[in-house]
Amino acid sequence: MLKKTKKIYSAQVLDKQKTNTKQIKSKQTKTKQTQITSKNNLIINVLSTVKNYYNSIQNSIRINVYARAIYQLKHWPYKITSGDDVKHLIGIGKGIVDKIDTILKTGTLPIIKEKKLSIINNGDGNGSDGKHLNNLTNILGFGEKFIAKLKNDFAINTIADLENYIQSHKNNSQISLNRQQYIGIKWYTDLAQPIPRNEALAFYNKLLIAPSLITLINKYKLIFKLAGSFPSGKKSSKDIDILIATPKNSYITKEHVLRKIVKSIENIGNIRNMQQCQNNTDNTDNTGNKAPVIELSCGNTKFLGLMLSQTHTHTHTQTNKCIYRHVDMRLVTYESYPFARLYFCSGKQFNIILRSILKKKGYKLNEWGLFYEDSSSTVDLDLQDRKDIFRENKKTNNNSLSLSLSLSLSLTYEELEQYADRIEKKIFSLAEMDYKTYAERY
Pairwise pLDDT comparison (258 vs 127), residue with the higher score: 258
Pairwise pLDDT comparison (275 vs 190), residue with the higher score: 190
pLDDT band at 272 (very low <50, low <70, confident <90, very high): low
Residue type, 374: D
Rounded to the nearest 10°, the torsion over CA 63, 69, 74, 78 is: -160
Pairwise pLDDT comparison (22 vs 344), residue with the higher score: 344
Mean pLDDT, all residues of the chain: 82
pLDDT of residue 137: 82
Residue 384 reports pLDDT greater than 70 = no
pLDDT band at 14 (very low <50, low <70, confident <90, very high): very low
Residue 231 reports pLDDT greater than 60 = yes
Per DSSP, which regions of 202-353 are E strands? 223-226, 236-237, 240-246, 293-298, 302-310, 322-333
pLDDT of residue 37: 74
pLDDT of residue 170: 82
Pairwise pLDDT comparison (394 vs 299), residue with the higher score: 299
Maximum Cα–Cα distance across the chain: 93
Residue 405 reports pLDDT greater than 70 = no
**pLDDT tens digits along 104-124:** 999 999 999 999 999 988 644
Strands 302-310 and 293-298: antiparallel
- pTM (two decimals): 0.79
Mean pLDDT of the region 236-260: 97
3-state DSSP call for residue 289?
Answer: coil
pLDDT band at 376 (very low <50, low <70, confident <90, very high): confident
**pLDDT tens digits along 158-217:** 888 998 998 898 888 899 899 999 999 999 999 999 999 999 999 999 999 989 999 999
The DSSP code for 176 is: P
pLDDT band at 223 (very low <50, low <70, confident <90, very high): very high
- Helical packing angle, 348-360 and 413-430, nearest 10°: 50
pLDDT of residue 58: 74
Mean pLDDT of the region 292-314: 90
pLDDT of residue 401: 36
pLDDT of residue 55: 82
Domains of the chain: 2-114 (1.10.150.110), 131-186 (1.10.150), 195-333 (3.30.460.10), 339-441 (3.30.210)
Identify the weakest region by mean pLDDT among 238-242, 377-381, 406-410, 427-431.
Answer: 406-410
Residue 3 reports pLDDT greater than 50 = no
Burial grade of 337 (CB within 10 A; 0-12, 13-18, 19 or more) = buried
Cβ neighbours of residue 33 closer than 8 Å, sequence gap 6 or more: none
- Helical packing angle, 179-186 and 159-168, nearest 10°: 110
Cα–Cα distance, 388 to 424 (Å, whole number) = 16
Cα end-to-end span (Å), the chain: 54
